[in-house]
Chains A and B, each alone.
Chain A
Amino acid sequence: MKFGVVVFPGSNCDHDCYDVVADVLKQPVEFIWHKETKLKEFDCIIIPGGFSYGDYLRCGAIARFSPIMEEAIKYANNGGLVIGICNGFQVLLEAGLLPGAMMRNTSLHFICKYVKLKVENTDTPFSSQYKKGQVVRIPIAHNEGNYYIDEKGLAQLKKNNQIIFRYVTNPNGAVDDIAGIVNTNRNVLGMMPHPERSSELILGSQDGVGIFKSVLDWLATR
């Protein structure tokens, strides 16, 4: 199963994602430079965390118009698996691949710590390795993780079971404690916590590796 990790100027979790795929999952993986206009054959694309374009204007707003994003949007609309982590989630929101928008944390602080997440839906390509209601420890590291969606949008998310992870204790003011969502087709995941930083015991937790292993499982059954 071939993974691609998109690299923008300012991405800083790209190597962590690469490392998890190459060394933990033992799968082929390639970096994809943001200026590329053609996507090769990939089974899953990861948009990593960081500060693409210095977070100028709004987080993800400029990265969203990178040449590679046009291809990534096509890829997602054709059913390809896309994971956006932290800044990657913000890029997916700005690109309109996921609903809602990201606001500054209510505390106005950059928060970097382990948080507990409740797994809300295991019936997706990204969460089959977990049990519904399971609580996992995955770290967050963000200043703009305060997820916003209007009431109508929230009702849609709930109705379609698009909320995958909720914070057990809300760290940032996110609507309905939302930490991670999928699109209605369930092939695009966005989450603020960093599973790539919690996929090996040596890092303090391997609760995050379930996301990547779920993807492998899902792809194996295709």
Chain B
Amino acid sequence: MYKGGKIIASLIIFAALFTIPFFYNMGKVNAGPDVALDTPAIQQLSDKQCVESPEFMRANHMKLLNQWREEAVRNGQTVYINSQGKEYPISLQDTCLKCHANGSASKVALSNPASSTTGVSNPAINESPEFCASCHDYSAVKPKCWSCHFEPKEAAK
């Protein structure tokens, strides 16, 4: 007895399981999050440079944020000296969000990606200045920032 039908059916299931990503993404354009860097706040900067290099920031920003939190909350440090020896105030509000937000630094426009369960990532979002959400949604990483920090109301969807 061969049970050929059952074997073929099982193999189709096997192949289907392993090719899910191909079918799931079929017809879609590979558009990664394209964070718009020419916000008014950034335009006003003389030195268009984050606290560390963009390469470093892309991979390590969460570690830096964690380190800042540690310094500010536990050790009372308020100044960060970067790898170039330049000083920055340790402040999410005053340093990070000065650039990484729409409009003025005081008017925070951030959504809480943690509350976004749909995992939506569409090209439209890339035009939005939501620096955290666009990448974080794309790679389905939920930052824990907003479990402590105040979530700006005006940004709530």
Partners in one complex: no
Which residues in A have some Cβ–Cβ distance to B below 8 Å?
none
Interface residues of B (CB under 8 A from A): none
